[in-house]
Amino acid sequence: MILHITSKQEWADAQAKGEYTAPSLAAEGFIHFSTDKQAVNVANAFYSGRTDLVLLLVDESRLKPELKWEPPAGPPADNISEADLFPHVYGPVNLDAVASVLDFQPDPATGAFTLPNLGN
């Protein structure tokens, strides 16, 4: 499974459209994903203060667009190494590849994200 952080509204929009896209697809040509070991660092680096998020668990074997494992796009944030390879999806995500959608909220006391139970 690969993971993608998005807003509840963007996920609702994807369900209405029949496919998921992200602003990065138009701007950079791909959608940013993470592994289960990378997602918390990504969330804490780029989504601090957000309480409207969900975590998409995507079965990469069911993806229709191309998936590439690449270094982070742009300078790495705290706890994200340039040596880490991240999954990047080069096209809209077909909804049948989304295995589950989990609420993804920061801890109310600390504001830090932790990975929810992924059901593995």
Chain segment 11-69, per-residue pLDDT in tens? 999 999 999 999 999 999 999 999 999 999 999 999 999 999 999 999 999 999 999 99
Judged against a pLDDT cut of 80, whether residue 77 lies above it is answered with: no
**Mean pLDDT in residue range 62-91:** 82
Judged against a pLDDT cut of 80, whether residue 101 lies above it is answered with: yes
> Mean pLDDT of all residues in the chain?
92
Q: What is the pLDDT of residue 90?
A: 98
Judged against a pLDDT cut of 70, whether residue 81 lies above it is answered with: no
Which percentage of the chain shows pLDDT scores above 70?
A: 90
Domain ranges of the chain: 2-104
Q: What is the pLDDT of residue 71?
A: 86
| Number of Cα atoms under 13 Å in the Cβ half of residue 101 | 16
Buried b (16+ CB within 10 A) or exposed e, 97-108: bbeebbebebee
Instruction: Give the CATH architecture of domain 2-104.
Output: Alpha-Beta Barrel (3.20)
Judged against a pLDDT cut of 90, whether residue 74 lies above it is answered with: no
Judged against a pLDDT cut of 80, whether residue 80 lies above it is answered with: no
Q: What is the pLDDT of residue 65?
A: 98
pTM: 0.90
Q: What is the distance of C-alpha 42 from the center of its chain?
A: 9
Q: 115 near 39, Cβ under 8 Å?
A: yes
Any residues with CB less than 8 A from the CB of 1 and at least 6 apart, and which?
36, 57, 58, 59, 60, 99, 118, 120
Phi, psi of 69 (to 5 degrees): -100, 115
